[in-house]
Structure 1
């Protein structure tokens, strides 16, 4: 396999012949020399290819190369006299592999992120989106390594399900029925028994319930895959399709889960800082000048731990005119979460023990009968990045919570079986992977940290 530009630039010294393949970012042509900046996506930095008139096809081919052309250049790697680059390539041959038709939309200028979303098939060639994708890759590998090093087994949760893990009803339906000829039952309702799966099926909103099955046999499992929410929110914080990381641990309580969440995040941050130094410096310079300092802070400092009740008391005493009024029993909004992390504690915060009325049915009911063993991990700029809980492992309590939420035990028969046969205390959390990437990169809109965003009104590419 050929040497990438990243590998070429990492050579300890100049010298020797190299072959560079990539896309021209910029081209400057003079009468006797051409300068091509070539990038192959392996790093933020490209390499400058210097082409003289002795190169075959200099006048007929090289001088016609422009932004976006795919090329292969062979030549000698030399130390560069220019600033901002270690090496350059003095080309002996340059071959145009793929030309560019008139109207190529990515020229040497800054394009708005709104515009780039309309050309998602080309935007990975930009500095910003290319850097985002490299950070995604680094973070993804760090996540798998973290869990594998601690004895977790990866569980592949299904994407098609009959269960609503959140009990919120915001799910995409999966059906094979002909919309022009939908079968009806005796009451005139859709007869889902005639559908492909013999019942009403949906795209999964979470792999948590299936992860609990794994934890009840393998002790430590995690899922990492796409999830779907039919939430009609056209905001910079929401996607209809996104990736979730969901570990589940048997014989684990809320305190142990909070420690796991902190260790997990800090491990990922350390890894990305090591592997993506150049990309992070770019984000700090071009996107948000707090990227590097914030990452250093959350990596090196312990997270603050408070209860929901303490958080409400802090917010009520802040004498702030919040857009969303705060009071015990109301959920924390992004502005509240950011106040706690950015102004009050100036570090990540783990909030525990939320009112049972604002949390899901599967969360452990505390002895006060008012709160559940839930936790949220809040970070600067983003707010909630992790949500988790100790699960309700007591059968009668879980049945009561299902009834309180207006859900049917019949729909969760297998989930209840886990409490009937060898139930143990267990806990888990969910991390929105795109929010993690947002936090690391400082990108303001979640649509710009996933290759192909799925949002209300748009599912292109």
Structure 2
């Protein structure tokens, strides 16, 4: 007989004379003549209660079972006389599938700190909080594909190993088939013996390849892992994370901002509808203001303000002297500035656009003033930057001058420049940090708690 998921058991419409439950024991209580097992199989937040009489056939098996063990129970689904639950299972037989030593099993029926649970990231999905987190993560992934598919986008798989640096910052992980001795001291032109015959890296973005497909298929998106060798040991940064990156032909900056706002609202609405129980857990135990933040984001038009006006606003606000970093024109906005704009001044998400060209990558379109580029950052409360994008520079001569201006080698981007030589067109796109979206949805304050196995400086466990 096939097992029935706990989620389906709890949603049953009528009693079932016989079924099989398989899962992990969250708690076990022994009373005179019978035992209570709370079993969860990961299909939902709630456990199913199983009551098993101490018959000679099951007593020896029950003695071996404790918190953390995996079990298989054959029983009958009946209405529960207890409060707060509609059904319970009257067990007829029980088999322990996997033993968990009660002396060494690290999770007991108490609240463990996030810091402790990061040290046992392989087991933390057994907790309510992290099982809920990763069900939400799964549903959010599905929602992203649904959003773009419904809008006629095509999903493109862009390379993970690359020879180009999209951001031009150089903070990339090297990929090589050579050992340390074979790599030491070699310059790029001396790498003929390496696998690709040149320097190769893990991608920091799928944007440049995605642009090529947008200029062929019209509107595309890529959704995959990206890597940054940036030693930022903060709650908002990881060396390996996931990015959602749409690129749209014949779209300008306004179209880009519209798409970003529409996507964020769609994802919130989808997850609230599909993961209500899991979101409720975070609203109750992690962030008491979570639902207010999410509903406020859903029900308001995002404020739009130029970078120049944002800096002037920040420099003139009452809190200006209290910022750790003084707002200065020509400098990136800091997280404290972004949070002030979203949480205190406007009280809702904000899109800042038209940044100084000097602080943005080469591919962003230069505005007519010659000083700014058509960049946009979508900022949300508590997180700060969630989405960053721009209208791309479609003019060949301007793009070539921008590459030279930033000190990059145009020869490495011959294929990218070809798209401007042969049928160039205005186009726009952005990147959304998938994990930051999860932080917004759950109230989590550390990116390490929204990734199954986080990769951060000096941390390569699991």
Shorter chain as denominator, the TM-score bin is over 0.9
Can you give the 5+ residue segments of structure 2 that lack an aligned partner in the other structure? Answer: none
Trace 1:274-353 onto structure 2 (pairs within 5 A): 274-320=273-319, 321-353=322-354
Secondary structure of 1:132's counterpart equals helix
Trace 1:26-175 onto structure 2 (pairs within 5 A): 26-54=27-55, 56-57=57-58, 59-101=59-101, 102-175=103-176
Alpha-carbon distance, 1:267 to partner: 0.8
TM norm structure 2? 0.96
Can you give the 5+ residue segments of structure 1 that lack an aligned partner in the other structure? Answer: none
Please tell me whether the aligned partners of residues 64 and 99 of structure 2 are also in contact (alpha carbons under 8 angstroms): no
Match of 2:405 in 1: 404
Q: Deviations over 1:11-30 (max 9, x none)?
A: 23444433211000011111
Match of 2:266 in 1: 267
For these two proteins, the number of residue pairs brought into alignment is: 458
Q: Structure 1 residues 182 and 328 mapped into 2: Cα distance closer, same or farther (>3 Å)?
A: closer
Distance 1:244 1:119 in 2: 26
Distance 1:215 1:92 in 2: 60
Distance 1:174 1:202 in 2: 5
Distance 1:16 1:250 in 2: 59
Distance 1:453 1:317 in 2: 39
Alpha-carbon distance, 1:189 to partner: 7.3
Please tell me whether the aligned partners of residues 171 and 203 of structure 1 are also in contact (alpha carbons under 8 angstroms): yes
Please tell me whether the aligned partners of residues 316 and 326 of structure 1 are also in contact (alpha carbons under 8 angstroms): yes
Please tell me whether the aligned partners of residues 225 and 241 of structure 2 are also in contact (alpha carbons under 8 angstroms): yes
1:444 lines up with 2:425 in the alignment: no
Alpha-carbon distance, 1:181 to partner: 3.4
Match of 2:190 in 1: 191
Match of 1:5 in 2: 6
Secondary structure of 1:221's counterpart equals strand
Please tell me whether the aligned partners of residues 388 and 432 of structure 2 are also in contact (alpha carbons under 8 angstroms): yes
Alpha-carbon distance, 1:190 to partner: 6.9
Please tell me whether the aligned partners of residues 183 and 194 of structure 1 are also in contact (alpha carbons under 8 angstroms): no
Alpha-carbon distance, 1:31 to partner: 2.1
Secondary structure of 1:60's counterpart equals helix
Alpha-carbon distance, 1:95 to partner: 1.3
Q: Structure 1 residues 432 and 73 mapped into 2: Cα distance closer, same or farther (>3 Å)?
A: same
Distance 1:269 1:81 in 2: 37
Greater shift, 389-398 or 406-415, is seen at 406-415
Please tell me whether the aligned partners of residues 183 and 191 of structure 1 are also in contact (alpha carbons under 8 angstroms): no
Q: Structure 1 residues 183 and 274 mapped into 2: Cα distance closer, same or farther (>3 Å)?
A: closer
Alpha-carbon distance, 1:423 to partner: 0.2
Q: Structure 1 residues 297 and 14 mapped into 2: Cα distance closer, same or farther (>3 Å)?
A: farther
Alpha-carbon distance, 1:32 to partner: 1.2
Distance 2:112 2:132 in 1: 15
Q: Deviations over 1:39-75 (max 9, x none)?
A: 0001110111111124731x21214311001011121
Greater shift, 151-160 or 76-85, is seen at 76-85
Alpha-carbon distance, 1:269 to partner: 0.7
Distance 2:342 2:3 in 1: 46
Match of 1:256 in 2: 255
Alpha-carbon distance, 1:324 to partner: 0.8
Match of 1:380 in 2: 381
Q: Structure 1 residues 223 and 32 mapped into 2: Cα distance closer, same or farther (>3 Å)?
A: same
Distance 1:55 1:22 in 2: 23
Distance 1:371 1:17 in 2: 69
Cα RMSD over matched residues? 1.5
Alpha-carbon distance, 1:276 to partner: 0.6
Distance 1:113 1:410 in 2: 47
Please tell me whether the aligned partners of residues 50 and 90 of structure 2 are also in contact (alpha carbons under 8 angstroms): yes
Match of 2:390 in 1: 389
TM norm structure 1? 0.97
Distance 2:57 2:109 in 1: 27
Distance 2:300 2:454 in 1: 33
Greater shift, 3-12 or 349-358, is seen at 3-12
Secondary structure of 2:197's counterpart equals coil
Please tell me whether the aligned partners of residues 3 and 19 of structure 2 are also in contact (alpha carbons under 8 angstroms): no
Alpha-carbon distance, 1:113 to partner: 1.3
